Chains A and B, each alone.
Chain A
Amino acid sequence: MWPSSPIHPLQLIQNTAARLVFSLPHLSDATPLLPSLHWLPVVARIQFKTLVLAYRCLNLSSTLPETAIPSYAAGLKDKAALVSALYRVIQEPQSEFLEPVCHQLFEFYRSGEVSLQRFTLQFLPEFIWSYLSICTNRDLHSTGCREALLLGIYNLEIIDKDGQSKVLSFTVPSLSKPSVYHEPSTIGSLALTEGALAKHGLSRVVYSGPHPQREIFTAQNRFEVLTFLLLCYNSALSYMASASLQSLCHLSTGVSICGYPRQLLRKYKGVSSRMPVSSEFLVQLITSLYYALYNGEWDMASKALDDVLYRAQLELYPEALLVGNAVKSSLPGGALKSNKEGTRCIQVEVTATSSRISRNAVTSLSIRGHRWKRNDSSENSIDIPDSGALSVPEISVTGVLGERVGNGETQRSRGEGEAQGGQDSGADSRDAVDLTSPEELMEVSEMDEGFCSRAASNASPPVIIITSSSGKTPGKSQRKSGSSRAGKEREANVESCRDHLSRKQAQRAMSENLELLSLKRLTLTTSHSLPKPDSVSLARTATAVFSKSFEQVSNVFGANNPASTGNTTSTEANRYSACSLQEEKLAYVSERTELLGPSSRHKQRSPSIGIQLSTDL
């Protein structure tokens, strides 16, 4: 810590002084004189002074009045000598100061004063490291204070103010709900997947907790506790001084490479046996390292990140690998040198806003845009119902599965195709676009247009055909809502379109359901080890299940009903937001359930549904 060069002259002076006291010759050895004078050598003296200072600082707080605490806390942070002295105490395996220091730090944490808590928290990485290294050396006797402090903080953090177990949760934002930054209608088609349906509203997800109170560390709960502590540390990252971030990098490196060949490579001294880790712990470490990278500790943090990734690879932890790879690949190519002040490297540049993708490239958007454009210009045709098309209007529902991508190397599964939903419109029509002229695409849309308008004139229910190999995708339903938006006929036409849409939607949802069910049924029956019930009863159950699940769907959307009606009344000059449209569709689903129920039961026997299992991975 203290380089010898500036201290050495001081030591010479002290030696001279000692000789002076004893009036000894200039060249005599002064070292034995110092103890007899009760003088500490300079190095020891410095250390002693700082430690005394630390002790006083820490113990002063207990005598402070309540009101003075915040200012005291604010001042505490800036006492660099104190902080570095504390680090030294923690690093030493057995320091006599450790116990009072731990005690005082815990008192700080318990005080509830936020800045005092942060003061304690900044030593957390150092504590974890020293605790873990002592643990690995199986020197269990000297972990006492550290262990107590870590557990103390943990037990304070797992409960909230009322003493209830704290459950940390967050809301998963969803694009289907308007937010301060967007409106669902402008985002474009959202894939109507099972996941999207399940998460139609915003849902809160628990990411940590509730945690049980812990009295001792055991090998079983050690990393659970430490992971939670790191989570707490991460939530206060911005307040941590750079020394704390450095010790965090140190911790990451140490935990990751000790006992592995890389330790020799790094010439990293310290513990020589391997430390067990957990995947979640590594993920939390990476999270902190990510912050450290961009806040002044570029070099250390990137090295530590490499080490953590190395360990994650060796342990085959997918979670840590996932996050670590993402961090690594998002780093800018050249090393961001921390600027002179050694602070932050968050930088932004003025960027060109125009699209860097040339116009004639085929993108997901361009395909959709193509259809939109066609729509806009063909709006006249809506005025005149196309009497020529006499065929029964068809509603084709995408076979949600089996969309093998043309370049066959990807084995897409059913689920994938489903989740892709709207965006997939690009993917599977890619071939079409490349090979065929755009007119064909337009023809497709034209046909639908025709149907739209005619649905208004003849109110006969359309025949519903489920095909499993259609190239159409739900992306079109969005386009259709556009057409309804642009359409000139107000109520009738829009109504019919919506009607049409809703039916389509219902059908689609149903086909999904059917598919899921068939899947489910098959799983269950194949896996069931009991003698199988005869096929009749099975079919019965399946249909029962089906209707039940369908009710569920309708219930979910039924909840949205009032909102959607509210939306329709506010007619904002022929602008139906896709959101409201969607909600109406969904509301329609519930109404259609009865109507479609029987037909679906009928459909269930059709082969297009039964085959799904084969595509599942």
Chain B
Amino acid sequence: MTAKKSGSRLETEIERCRSEGQWDRIPDLIRQLSVKLIANDDLAELLLGEAKLQQYLKENPIKQGASPRGAKPKLMEVRKHLTAALDRGNLKSEYMQEASLIMAKLNYVEGSYREALSNYFKVGLDDLQLVGIPVYRLSMIAEAYATKGLCLEKVPVASPVSNRHTGREQEIITCYEKSGDIALLYLQEVEKALSSGIQNRSPKPGPISHEQELGFFLETGLQRAHVIYFKNGNLTRGVGRFREILRAVETRTTQNLRMTIARQLAEILLRGMCEQSYWNPLQDPPHQSPLDDPLRQASNIEDYALSRRPKVYAGENIFCPQENTEEALLLLLISESMANRDAVLSRIPEHNNDRIISLQSASIVYDLLTIALGRRGQYEMLSECLERAMKFAFEEFHLWYQFALSLMAAGKSARAVKVLKECIRLKPDDPTIPLLAVKLCIGTLHWLEEGERFAKMVIDMGEKASEFRPKGYLAIGLVYSLKATDASLRGVQEEYQRKALGAFQRAQSLSPMDHLAAFYLALQHAVSRQIPEAVGYVRQALQLQGDDVHSLHLLALLLSAQKHYHDALNIIEMALSEYPEHFILLFTKVKLESVCKGPDEALLTCKHMLQIWKSCYNLTNPSDSGRGSSLLDRAMADRRQINNMTLPDFSDPETASSSSSSISGSEPSLHFFISSHHSPHSKSDPTPKPSSRHFCDHAPGRRASSPCNPPDAYFHGFFSLFSVCSVHATSVAASRVEQALSEVASSLQSSAPKQGPLHPWMTLAQIWLHAAEVYTGIGKPAEATACIQEAANLFPTSHNVLFMRGQVAELRGNTDEAKRWYEEALSISPTHVKTMQRLGLILHRLGRSSLSEKILRDAVQVNPTSHDVWNSLGEVLQTQGHDDAATECFLTALELEASSPILPFTIIPRAL
């Protein structure tokens, strides 16, 4: 009784060892078994033979592609065991089958393929049961199919008829596919048995962690089929096979295989497929596909039937990719998570090789991820993925660089600069990297000191930087030029301007073909009021790049500085024909028109601008959402159009970031308040009326005073637009800090952070302010106030808004109010020259001339090129009785006025 019991226990133990591939324990167990049951002799022979064969294979693994060697003494032993078992024929039929299968395998190992094939034929491989058999037999059958495929590949085809040939190929592939499927099934079963074994067995500290390895045969079975498909150029079937393997539920043993195959499939999806030739994993593949090699007509491969198939991932609403990029991404993410898990972290020299391997496999995956996400423009997500790669990145330039670039592309400038610094350390003689850093520094970040350092690095490279050398000079020139604008001391300013000019000249001489060098040289001359030189260089720039918007704009400003307003307007018109939606050009146009064509034209242009604004940003889809991880980055993320539209006065970082907080929450409701015909002014109106008309009611006085004013029609149209574009006061509620805070918070936390770019709103506010200015110019305070109100709804704390309010108050003759507004504006932006000038004049009018003089002198310090300020200062000094000084001021003003453009040259953005 005990013997029997222990015998059955032994049997299960043997079975377990066989299924888990613990061949070294078999001989031991057999010894125990044969002690107990003599009748098991044949079985023992079989088992011994199998164990020895497997041990042999473990010690002498067959290399892929290499053909197995001939007979070896060890193999002779195996053969002896097996023939003994087979010859006696006492075994049960399933053991006989097993013996034959092992025999066939042995034959293959010894190189006698035909015999192996005949063995398989005798066993009837296709008739073997798959249901209700022990686990190890699954593996045996899988190996048998793989071996059969290998043999078939080795044995030459009997008759060279091509039809026969394709039939043979078909048979081989079917063998491998069956082998692969059964192998997957086997692995799943083993895992199931293992995990249940852990649960059922008593706390026995067995070597559970024993990692199973796929042998040569199973590996071949799993992979050879798709390799053949791809070799034959049959991409469709190959991809199908890949997907079958991947869809099977993973086991611990298949993880590496899955990682590789997922990556390979992603490669194929990205390299060989396009959206139109894609079919999704649950669809049938297309009959005809451009992916397949047309030269080799794929024979109709029929599907085979297996009584059991490996378990696949299934479920109610599992995600199934619908596009090749989606599938590639999914596969890459899976592959990435596995590659990440294998990241070798230790740095000791023994693990160097391992580390290199893990790094390589990971960096392939990350490169593919970059390709997949890059073509879809998802840099935000890409930067997050590459961030995960940083654990591999120690001293790895490529990963660092890619990470930096992705941060840059995602608009996370501050971090990008930091990462670029590390890149520079790793690769000090690549001029591109510091240049990229400069680009960021003088762009959104405005880190001029850092920028200067990076630019100097490029210049210090000297000849090594070759083609990038002029770029380096350009960069440092820009840094100096921006510093000059920022500087508050006149001496410093001039010093920087001189330096900038020198750098630009150097850049231009080094690369005479670069229009940017010529353009910035011109701009720098213009800023220093050397108008003729500037004109010369801007012409040069235009010759190199005829339709460069900034050069055209600069030319127009230069012409206006020479007081050729009509020519300037013509240039602007010309530029606008190429850049119809360029707002800075339009602002200049408004200014020019109000000078030389009168306010009506200017107002028309304002209206036109509002229309353009609406058509431009109405289309912008709000789901172009930022997904940055850091709030700071996001606030600064204003990447795309920062080059072509920097607004002159909203550009200072303080206002920008504060307004970002106030506006960020309201962006998604853009459509809402554009469509809501609800102007804030209707509040003053007790009876709500169609807003397109209510302005006519609103300003009856004006109509009465000028009943037959032709431009009135324009005003109508303008105001109809006014109401269309106006921002609903309550929906913004931006003046309240608390609300803004909560809005930012909720927009951060909600699943769809619709953080739009800021500048559309800045542009809109700017348009309203321009309109207000035109109205002030023609003495219409009511309309101007309305316009200012619109701007104030967007940016209540902008000094520009406050300044305009002051102007209107002045127009109304309300000096005290004007003074108050100007003071508020100055408290926000203490160096706003225009405000200083107005405030100085008002103070002067109020009789406080010494304070006025002080303020005007400050203004002159800040901006020595403003002729208005000099003029006012002259007036003040004159009344104070300093006639000499006053004369000097007037002369300076006169001189400056002769070269002053209609808008400051610095509104032209300076960026690399």
Contact = CB atoms under 8 A, between A and B. Distances in A.
Interface in B313-352: 313, 315, 318-323, 325-326, 329-331, 333-334, 337, 340-348, 351
Contacts of B847: none
B41 interface: no
21 contacts: A174-B333, A175-B337, A203-B751, A205-B623, A220-B579, A236-B274, A236-B276, A238-B277, A274-B545, A316-B432, A318-B405, A318-B409, A322-B406, A329-B363, A348-B223, A358-B353, A368-B341, A524-B661, A527-B653, A537-B738, A546-B745
Interface in A385-423: 407, 409-416, 418-420, 423
Contacts of A237: 274
Interface stretch (B287-295, B705-713, B777-785): B287-295
Contacts of B95: none
A529 B650 CA distance: 13
A304 to B, nearest CB: 16
A326 B374 CA distance: 10
B213 interface: yes
A513 B749 contact: yes
Contacts of B374: 283, 286-287, 319, 322-323, 326
B467 interface: yes
B235 to A, nearest CB: 7
B534 interface: no
A154 to B, nearest CB: 15
A64 interface: no
Contact of A523 (B323, B577, B657): B657
B379 interface: yes
Contacts of A541: 737-738, 741-742
Nearest to A284: B375
Contacts of A617: 414-415, 418
Contact of A201 (B290, B394, B751): B751
B619 A516 contact: no
Contacts of B657: 523, 527
Contact of B346 (A321, A362, A524, A544): A362
A189 B660 CA distance: 35
Given A523-B635, A527-B657, A380 B748 contact: no
Nearest to B214: A353
B655 A517 contact: no
B156 interface: no
Given A175-B333, A206-B624, A341-B293, 17 more contacts: A171-B322, A171-B323, A195-B384, A197-B751, A290-B271, A318-B409, A319-B379, A321-B432, A344-B233, A344-B293, A355-B256, A357-B354, A362-B346, A380-B203, A434-B346, A523-B635, A617-B415
A472 B57 CA distance: 44
B391 A426 contact: yes
B371 A326 contact: yes
B745 A549 contact: yes
Interface string B570-583: 00000001111110
Interface stretch (A17-25, A207-215, A450-458): A207-215
Contacts of B65: 350
A271 interface: no
Given A364-B342, A556-B751, A548 B629 contact: no
Given A353-B214, A529-B654, A316 B741 contact: no
Contact of B367 (A172, A212, A329): A329
A288 to B, nearest CB: 10
A401 B621 CA distance: 34
Contacts of B230: 346-348
B354 A553 contact: no
A207 B741 contact: no
Interface stretch (B108-116, B244-252, B500-508, B722-730): B244-252
B131 interface: no
A353 B257 contact: yes
Contacts of B375: 234, 283-284, 287, 323
B514 to A, nearest CB: 8
Contact of A195 (B351, B355, B629): B629
Nearest to B361: A356
The 9 closest A-B pairs by CB, nearest first: A326-B370, A323-B374, A527-B657, A173-B330, A318-B408, A235-B275, A179-B319, A237-B274, A238-B277
Interface string B249-278: 110011011001010100110111111110
Contacts of A172: 326, 329, 378, 381
Interface string B728-768: 00000000011011101110111111000000000000000
Contacts of A199: 627, 751
B281 A170 contact: no
B205 interface: yes
A330 interface: yes
Interface in B112-171: none
A218 B579 contact: yes
A234 B393 CA distance: 32
B390 interface: yes
B358 A181 contact: no
A373 B208 CA distance: 9
B318 A178 contact: yes
Interface in A247-286: 259-261, 273-274, 276, 280, 283-284, 286
Nearest to A181: B246
A544 B745 CA distance: 10
Interface in B66-104: none
B903 interface: no
B320 A179 contact: yes
A219 B577 CA distance: 9
Contacts of A188: 337, 341
Contacts of B222: 353
Contacts of B377: 207-208, 280, 283, 319
A295 B292 CA distance: 12
A363 B418 contact: no
Given A173-B333, A205-B376, A291-B274, A180 B256 contact: no
A363 B227 contact: no
Contacts of B489: none
A415 B342 contact: no
A517 B738 CA distance: 13
Contact of A520 (B223, B344, B744): B744
B635 A353 contact: no
Nearest to A186: B250
Interface in A543-591: 544-546, 548-550, 552-553, 556, 574
B409 A322 contact: yes
A516 B631 contact: yes
A41 B727 CA distance: 73
A617 to B, nearest CB: 5
